[in-house]
Amino acid sequence: MKSVCAAFLMLWGTALSAQEPAFMEAGTHPGSGALYSRLFWTSPPLSGGEGGRERGGLLESINAYGFTARRALLFDLGLDVDGVSEGSLRLKQRFLQFDTGPIDTWRASVHGGVHWREDGDPGARLGLVSTTIRGRHGWNLQLEWNEAEISERRYEANASHLYRIHPVRYAADTTGAWYTMLESLNAVSSDGDVAADVAIGLLYEGRRWACEASIRLIEPSEGISTADTVLGLGARMLW
C-alpha cells in the first residue's frame, strides 16, 4: 500500500498536466520554480492550401513558469513560414483548489494579459479555465476573450474530456499513461454566430515529458472533408 501511495505522489504532477488537451487550455500550473514548455504544430488543411500559414501550418511555442504553485507567467509565440506571426504574455492565478484524493481534484484559474498579431493591434486577452479529475476521467472548461483577434470571433467557449486508457490503476512502477482526448472548440462572434469544431486525439504522458496527436474537424456539422480538417502534433516538457 505504501508503494502505491508513493506512486500516486510521484505521478501527481503528471496526472494534472495530462488533463491538458491539445487545442484548448486547462486549469493546470507548473510547480513553484518549474518551467513548462510545449511545442505544438497545426498543419494546413489536409487537402493542401496556398499562402501564409496554409503552406506550412502554424508552430506554437507555449511556455509557463511557476512563481508559486498558484501563480504562473505564460509566454506564447506563434510562427508560420513568414516568421513570428503572433504572441501573448499573461499572468495566470489559481483561485480554486479542491482535492478529494491523491489524484482526484477540481482546480480553476483566471488569466489575463496582452496578445498581439502581426496584422493587427495588440489587445487584452482574458480567460477562465477549469480542470476536474475523477478517477480515469478528466474534464476541462475554458472561456476566453481576445481583443487582438482580427476576426469577429473574439470569444471562445471550449470543453474537453480526457480518459486514461492505460494503466487502469497506478502502481509503484508506473512510468507513464495513455489518454484519449475529445474537444469541443467553439468561437463566438460579436453578432452571436458560432463556429463549432471538434478534435479527437491521443496523448502519452511520461513523468516529465509528453507527446500528442489530434485531428481537428472544422465545423463538422457542415460536412467532413480534408479541406476542413487539420492535424495537430505536440511535445511537452517539464523542466
What's the pLDDT tens digit per position in 100-111? 988 899 999 999
pLDDT band at 222 (very low <50, low <70, confident <90, very high): confident
pLDDT value at residue 12: 42
Q: For the segment 126-163, what is each residue's pLDDT rounded down to a tens digit?
A: 999 999 999 999 999 999 999 877 666 679 999 999 99
Q: Strands 71-80 and 58-66: what pairing? A: antiparallel
In angstroms, the Cα distances linking 127 to 100, 181, 184, 191 are 25, 22, 17, 20
In the chain, where do the E strands start and end?
Answer: 35-42, 58-66, 71-80, 83-99, 105-117, 123-134, 137-146, 155-166, 176-188, 194-206, 209-217, 229-238
Cα–Cα distance measured from residue 119 to residue 56, given in angstroms and rounded to the nearest whole number: 18
H/E element holding 8?
Answer: helix 2-10
Asked if 29 and 66 count as a contact pair (C-beta separation under 8 A), the reply is yes
What average pLDDT does this structure show over 67-71?
A: 96
* Least confident window among 12-21, 144-153, 174-183: 12-21
3-class secondary structure, 91: strand
pLDDT value at residue 170: 82
Nearest 10 degrees: CA dihedral of 94, 16, 28, 178?
A: -160
pLDDT band at 7 (very low <50, low <70, confident <90, very high): very low
What average pLDDT does this structure show over 11-18?
A: 47
pLDDT value at residue 120: 75
Cα–Cα distance measured from residue 131 to residue 107, given in angstroms and rounded to the nearest whole number: 5
Nearest 10 degrees: CA dihedral of 109, 163, 155, 130?
A: -10
For the chain, give the mean pLDDT.
87
**Residue 21: pLDDT over 90:** yes
Backbone angles phi, psi at 185, to 5 degrees: -120, 115
pLDDT value at residue 56: 82
What average pLDDT does this structure show over 78-83?
A: 91
Q: For the segment 224-235, what is each residue's pLDDT rounded down to a tens digit?
A: 888 889 999 999
What average pLDDT does this structure show over 46-67?
A: 79
